[in-house]
A and B are shown apart, each in its own frame.
Chain A
Amino acid sequence: MRYAETGYNLEIDLATGNIERVETDPKMTELHLGGLGTSVKLHWDRVPPETKAFDPENLLIFSSGILNGTPAFSANRTVVTFYSPQSDLLAYPMMGGFWSAELKYAGYDKVIFRNKSPKWVYIWINNDKVEIRDAEHLKGRGALETQDLVRKELNQPNAQVAAIGLAGENKCFTASIEQSRSSASRLGGGAVMGDKKIKAVAVRGTKDVNLARGAEFMEHMKGVMEYINFRNTNPIQDVMTILSGIGSPQEMVHTDEKWHTENFMWGNARTRRRGFWDEHISKEWPRVQKEGIKRLISCFNCPQHCGALISYKDTPRYMAKCFGKLTYAMAAYVDNMDFAWRTLQRATEYGMDSFSTPQIIAFGIELYEAGILTDNDFKGAPTDKEGRFVWLLDRVARREGIGDVLADGVYYAARKIGNGAEAFDHNTIKKHEQLPLKLSTLDPLYFLMYSTNEKISITQIEGNWPQAAFPTAEQRERFVKDWPQLPDEKWKQILLEWEPRGEKGIPYFPTPDMCSEIVDWMEMLHNIDDACCVCAGMSSFCLKPPYHIHNYPKIISAATGLDLDEAGLKKIVNRSRNLHRALNNRRGMTRADEKPPADHWKRRFPELEEELLSTYYKFKGWNNNGIPTRERLEELDLGYVAEDLEKRGILKDGKN
């Protein structure tokens, strides 16, 4: 019997309609655990590096993690992997909601799609019965709307449905996959799904997920539950509200947006508006936010309230989470939360990433204002900024006119438009739009995370280490006093010494060596989360979380029956992480690509930055070009990867 996992994947060939239930190799669980780990392995083994996002050979994998469907709190993520049309690397956006647990209960760990369907279809997975069903009648329907239509058509109110909207159908590079209150948004998963002509994937399961040592597992969960209760009643002091709790940022709960609206950039990551949160706005925005929120909701088996059911005036109902409530208004320079709620609804039904999309539209409007795009491109657009922004959103989702160019994202659009547009592409890395944040002095930890992580999005790399030094010694003492999540006590000293400025401040402190260890720790924890499909909000993404390196091995061991200690678990995720890196190296990624957004920091330190990269590469066992060395790969039982990289000339003499 297999524990925690089902031991079966569903393989669907969309071209032939062939569906197979395939038993997986338990050895893969030992080597890569599950979730992102085992998915990376499948992409490495089965998709040639020459494959492009819209080639039939590009696999699209919907995966659960090793802890989905178990009683582990907040194990509810679905990781979707594919070669991205935007970055051309292996992307792995994740969604919360209820889908992955349902897939496990249906008896599968992953759904693997290959090739393309000749016509629009949706997939219906009902335990052992799996069908490819006609979806021509759903074409053009909203991503959220489609979920209910499919449930109704199947007469299955408890089916969980992941769907794309118009943006996915039209292969917009920022098309998301929407599901319940959640979405797998970044890097164009919706576009790959649309390219394969899959409108939706519905799943219902009524089978058991087994636990190897259930009673022991529940004892660990009791501890996690107690800590969740403790953290929910004891927010961390001396940090801003948004960082004080656990869960994904509690953006639906919190109404004080002074920090985001005044510190994040408006428009195309362009303007900081100090003093925005004034007397009037600080009353009006919270009022409209609350007016829109019907109920605070969560994902599967999670006590938090990161999401909300939005019922705003005459706008059709939808569900929202995180920072999406602000991104559209801020990108459009609209001082009105009414616009935010309305536009987010529209974009959710289109199925678009609410991080990248607003920036793309703001970029288009900037180009128009700069005279690079012309009246001809904006023919028929309203003249008010609200109307014009929504008009352009519609064009992008529909790939009409200039919208067709912008739908490929800022990087490609800038190069296609030319005429100086490239200079307006200032907030992307590896061709992907980043958080609209511009700061003064280079932060060495963030420099490394931005530049080197396979996620290509800072919000899903950072987490356990405070974002900034505490100003006073008392605050630092208070923070380190109770910090059981830390892998090594010695790091407390780093935090105690860390000053907001001066010799013991950024950019030179923490030192490159210290930064390497701290970043590696945060990254490792994210990789454990992503193999388990536990929400980072309960682990790697927040300060002092319920899950950490000391309890994870025990929880995973009790669930799976694998006897893992900390070193064993670290080795597994390191293996998967290095395989992921090698896979991206094999697709052409090198040191030259590892850069933060061009103007993220005003004060840059080129020499230090090179030193940081070199130190970190060395720490990770990568050569100076950011490629894992043969020695490192062999340590991780990845000798076959070294051979492949050598054969391709990516790794020369095992080192360079």
Chain B
Amino acid sequence: MAKIKKTIKTIKVDADKCNGCRGCEIICSSFHATPKYSSVNPARSRIQIIRHPLKDIWLPVFAGEYAPAECMGRDKYVIDGKEYEECAFCRAVCPSRDLFKEPDSGLPLKCDMCEGEEEGPLCVRWCLNNVLTYEEREEEVEEQAEMAEMEIGLESLINKYGLGKVADTVARMTQKN
């Protein structure tokens, strides 16, 4: 497939500068409220600070893709004398933890880089300690065919039930007809 250029939007996290205030969580949840700024609830924030104050761990993590199943990762990393769970760095909305799920419905949350905000993500602007830096860079990626609506639907069914079950079901329905 052909290579195409794509703009990648990222936020660089300098966790050493974090003073642990959670201002990013507040502004994120408030920006994404409907109507905008009508409420605040850090549990709805798409950025969360993993906090272990006495271990000197303050780690901002952004909500990424929805993962239908847990992965195998349970490793531990010791960095600069501090022990982190592998999961600490993971952005996935995953069944193994409550992170990045709407508290009422359990639906997954995902960072959208505050789409529509001309000045970039709010968490970056409201962190006065410069922990977060918004960066855009161009990357060459494989061109991927756009999935059709039905394919998206099927993929989610396959994710949930497995390809075998979905294929069996389609086959059974074909026979009935």
Q: Does A305 make an interface contact (CB < 8 A)?
A: yes
* Inter-chain contact B35/A214, CB cutoff 8 Å: yes
Q: Is A614 an interface residue (CB 8 A)?
A: no
One digit per residue, 1 when the CB lies within 8 angstroms of any chain A CB and 0 when it does not, for chain B 14-48 equals 00000111110011001001011111111110000
Distance of A16 from chain B, by nearest CB (Å): 31
Q: Are B56 and A105 in contact (CB under 8 A)?
A: no
**Contact B21–A299 (Cβ < 8 Å):** yes
Cβ-closest chain A residue relative to B52: A157
Residues of A contacting B43 in the complex (Cβ-Cβ under 8 angstroms): 105, 205-207
Given A206-B103, A225-B128, A229-B128: A158 and B56 within 8 A (CB)? no
User: Interface size (A, Cβ < 8 Å)?
Assistant: 44
Q: Is residue A70 within 8 Å, beta carbon to beta carbon, of the partner chain?
A: yes
Distance, CA A232 to CA B130, complexed state (A): 14
User: How many contacts between A and B, using CB within 8 angstroms?
Assistant: 96
Q: With the chains together, A302 CA to B52 CA distance in Å?
A: 18
Query: Residue A298 at the B interface, CB < 8 A?
Result: yes
Determine if A305 and B19 form an interchain contact, defined as CB atoms under 8 angstroms apart: yes
Q: Which of the residues B19, B27, B40, B126 comes within 8 Å of A208, measured between beta carbons?
A: B40
Contacting pair B30 A71 (CB below 8 A): yes
- B40 pairs with A206, CB closer than 8 A: no
B53 located at the interface, meaning its Cβ lies under 8 Å from any Cβ of chain A in the complex: yes
Question: Which positions 37-95 of chain A face chain B at CB distance < 8 Å?
Answer: 69-71, 73
**B41-78 CB contacts (< 8 Å) to partner A:** 41-44, 51-54, 56, 58
Determine whether the beta carbon of B56 is less than 8 Å from that of A309: yes
Q: Identify the closest chain A residue to B38 (Cβ).
A: A214
The chain A residue sitting closest to B43, CB to CB, is A206
CB-CB < 8 A to A311: which residues of B?
56
- Inter-chain CA distance A505–B33, complex, in Å, is 55
Whole-angstrom distance between the Cβ of B96 and the nearest chain A Cβ: 14
Tell whether B129 is near chain A: CB-to-CB under 8 Å.
Answer: yes
Which of B37, B51, B128 meets A228, CB within 8 Å? B128
| A210 and B37 within 8 A (CB) | no
Q: How far is the CA of A215 from the CA of B20 in the complex (A)?
A: 25
Q: Are B19 and A301 in contact (CB under 8 A)?
A: no
Stretch from A289-297, A422-430, A618-626 at the B interface? A289-297
Q: Is A615 an interface position by the 8 A CB rule? A: no
CB distance from A73 to the nearest CB of B (A): 8
Per-residue interface assignment for chain A, residues 191 to 225, with 1 indicating a CB less than 8 Å from any chain B CB and 0 otherwise: 00000000000000111111100110110000001
**A319 contacts chain B at the CB level, 8 A cutoff:** yes
Q: In the bound complex, what is the Cα–Cα distance between A208 and B45 (angstroms)? A: 11
B128 cross-chain contacts in A, Cβ below 8 A: 225, 228-229, 232, 303
Chain A's nearest CB lies how many Å from the CB of B17? Answer: 10
Contacts A214-B30, A215-B36, A296-B19 given; does A158 touch B53 at CB 8 Å: no
Asked if B37 and A300 make an inter-chain contact with CB atoms under 8 angstroms apart, the answer reads no
Partner of B37, one of A214, A225, A304: A214
Residues of A within 8 A of B (CB): 69-71, 73, 98, 105, 144, 148, 157-158, 180-181, 205-211, 214-215, 217-218, 225, 228-229, 232, 294-305, 309, 311, 317-319
12 contacts between A and B (CB under 8 A): A71-B26, A181-B53, A207-B41, A207-B43, A211-B30, A211-B37, A211-B39, A218-B30, A225-B126, A229-B128, A295-B19, A318-B54
B residues with CB within 8 A of A: 19-23, 26-27, 30, 33, 35-44, 51-54, 56, 58, 103, 126-129
Beyond known contacts A105-B43, A218-B37: 13 more, CB 8 A cutoff? A71-B27, A71-B30, A158-B51, A209-B41, A214-B30, A214-B36, A218-B30, A297-B19, A297-B58, A298-B21, A301-B21, A303-B19, A303-B129
